[in-house]
Amino acid sequence: MSKTYLTTANGAPVADDDTSISAGERGSLTFDNVHLFEKLAHFNRERIPERVVHARGYGAYGTFTLNKDLSDYTIADFLQGADKKTNVFLRFSTVAGGQDSSDYVRDVRGFALRFYTEQGNYDIVGNNTPVFFIRDPAKFPDFIHSQKKDPKTNLPDPAHHFEFWANHPQAMHQITILMSDRGIPGSLRHMNGYGSHTLSLWNKEGERFWVKWHFKTNQGIETLTNDEAAKQPGDGMQRDLVEAIERGDFPGWSVKIQMMTDEQAKQCEFNPFDLTKVWPHKEFPLNDIGTLELNRNVGNYFAETEQVAFAPSNLVPGVGVSPDKVLQGRLFAYADAHRHRLGVNYQQIPVNKPICPVHHYQRDGVMAGASGCSVTGHLQNADVNFYPNDRSDAPVPAPQFGEPSMPLENHAWLKAYDSSDEDNYSQAGNLYRIMSEVQKQQLVSNIVDGLSQATESVQSRMVEHFTRCDEDYGQRIKALLLK
């Protein structure tokens, strides 16, 4: 069997990897240490910018199996015909902490899913909660700043969390979920996932249907208390996921959607595009459409999990977005973050590369590759780089895949719900009232642990917000704060 020889990056064999070239046995190093300089220079550049949010993540490959034909609602190829299988990549993450944070912090978990469809990559970039803290993307940087470490001490500060929330009562629904028993999952396999945003499907007749995606864990829900979480190893969730897949215990989720027609959206008593709201299941029941299974770990964490680049703007024919304002902001922000972290050609990285041919007139940039390149394989060597052109074999638009227009006529969504009297409390109160006594006690205790560190003004406003959700909810928090 022939040996595999160590080489430099340009392919030249390396004679010695243990000793640098020096001017004599005890002399200084010389300037012709090409291999040494290459190793040190590359080592200095191994790290790319950390994600501002969702930095600590864990990913795996799997399969989505459609069990219900959705051709009446969409032309999306991966939703056509029962038993259709589509390869996927799923990345879990915490939101606020950096890569050095624990798996077991009380935090929302990212649940970002990519479908490698025959007409491009479709990303559903959601969380393990069906709602979020804000309804306008202008507040996202402020919200994340409030959840990060104190800019002076570089230490976590719960007082900042509650100071932001006291000024943004739209967060009450998400706070109630985060501070409940579901705030710390027992494992990544034992939590649900949600598209969170209202998304849409559209069919060949040009009809649009608003949808909410749900991924219900088949392993059952498991959660941890603060005390239980404190006893776990910092990397326990990632280890659990990797080891489960390695031993063939493939985690799965039942995939369901809620659906709403245009007319139902117009008549809805609440804004169906508000990210702080859920759609009541009695009015908009869950429809089972398939199963999601994770069955293969990544081969290289950095190349795949760290460089995978999800974006809500990754759409395919038959699926679309909605007037959800936070979603609209993310259509720009996510892809822009990837261009910053990975370069303008980030979609040519293998984990981000579509399985279908890619043809466009975008050119150059860092890491641009020609057709046939093992890394990129995009159309960089064509003899024309502009459109329109006179070449008969050059890429042309496909008008048959044109998406129906979003409604902007009178009584359209964008203004109908833009009011100062938005209901921030009812759904949070409804959630509180269905909790068991044990769950209520845990919820209140978790809230007071952090709220007790805030100013009296913040405490007073938060108690008022909780009371507007439910009288008992607010009074329990007030009483525990006074102890």
303-341 per-position pLDDT tens digit: 999 999 999 999 999 999 999 999 999 999 999 999 999
Whole-angstrom Cα distance, residue 259 to residue 281?
Answer: 10
pLDDT at residue 148, rounded to an integer: 95
Whole-angstrom Cα distance, residue 238 to residue 187?
Answer: 8
| List of E strands, 148-232 | 193-194, 199-202, 208-217
Spatial contact of 159 and 458, defined as CB atoms under 8 Å apart: yes
Please give the structure tokens belonging to residue 368. 């641009």
Whole-angstrom Cα distance, residue 189 to residue 292?
Answer: 12
Whole-angstrom Cα distance, residue 348 to residue 340?
Answer: 15
Helix (H) or strand (E) holding 246: helix 236-246
Whole-angstrom Cα distance, residue 438 to residue 180?
Answer: 10
123-174 per-position pLDDT tens digit: 999 999 999 999 999 999 999 999 999 999 999 999 999 999 999 999 999 9
- Provide the percentage of residues in the chain whose pLDDT is more than 70: 94
Helix (H) or strand (E) holding 242: helix 236-246
Spatial contact of 453 and 459, defined as CB atoms under 8 Å apart: no
Taking residue 9's Cβ as centre, other Cβ atoms within 10 Å add up to 10
Omega within 30 of 0 (cis) for the link into 156: no
Distance of CA 17 to the CA centre of its chain: 41
CA angle 74, 77, 83 (to 5 degrees): 100
Please give the structure tokens belonging to residue 40. 């040190």
pLDDT at residue 421, rounded to an integer: 58
Question: Residue 379's pLDDT band (boundaries 50, 70, 90)?
Answer: low
Q: Tell me the backbone φ, ψ of residue 223, rounded to 5 degrees.
A: -135, 170
Spatial contact of 213 and 195, defined as CB atoms under 8 Å apart: yes
Helix (H) or strand (E) holding 379: none
Spatial CA neighbour of 307 closest among 42, 39, 44, 51: 51
Whole-angstrom Cα distance, residue 159 to residue 453?
Answer: 5
Residue type, 361: Y
Q: Say if residue 193's pLDDT is above 70.
A: yes
Whole-angstrom Cα distance, residue 33 to residue 302?
Answer: 28
Whole-angstrom Cα distance, residue 85 to residue 119?
Answer: 14
* Mean pLDDT computed over 257-281: 94
- Provide the percentage of residues in the chain whose pLDDT is more than 90: 84
Please give the structure tokens belonging to residue 179. 């501070």
> What are the angstrom distances between the C-alpha of 189 and each of 57, 127, 350?
14, 14, 26
Burial of 125 (0-12, 13-18, 19+ CB in 10 A): buried
pLDDT at residue 377, rounded to an integer: 47
* Mean pLDDT computed over 398-426: 71
Distance of CA 290 to the CA centre of its chain: 20
Per-residue burial over 339-377, b if 16 or more Cβ lie within 10 Å, else e, is eebbeebbbbbebbbbeeebeeeeeeeeebbeeeeeebb
Spatial contact of 119 and 126, defined as CB atoms under 8 Å apart: no
Residues annotated as catalytic (active site), given as ranges: 54, 127
Whole-angstrom Cα distance, residue 17 to residue 74?
Answer: 58
Q: Say if residue 391's pLDDT is above 80.
A: yes
pLDDT at residue 420, rounded to an integer: 55
Question: Residue 376's pLDDT band (boundaries 50, 70, 90)?
Answer: very low
Please give the structure tokens belonging to residue 25. 């046995």
Distance of CA 473 to the CA centre of its chain: 31
Q: Tell me the backbone φ, ψ of residue 129, rounded to 5 degrees.
A: -130, 150
DSSP one-letter code for 22: B
pLDDT at residue 422, rounded to an integer: 82
| Average pLDDT score, the chain | 92
List, in sequence order, every residue forming a beta bridge with 132; answer none if it has no partner: none
> What are the angstrom distances between the C-alpha of 187 and each of 58, 64, 241, 436?
12, 21, 8, 22
Q: What secondary structure does DSSP assign to 129-187, as a single string?
A: SS--S-SSGGGHHHHHHHHS--TTT-S--HHHHHHHHHT-GGGHHHHHHHTSGGGSBS-
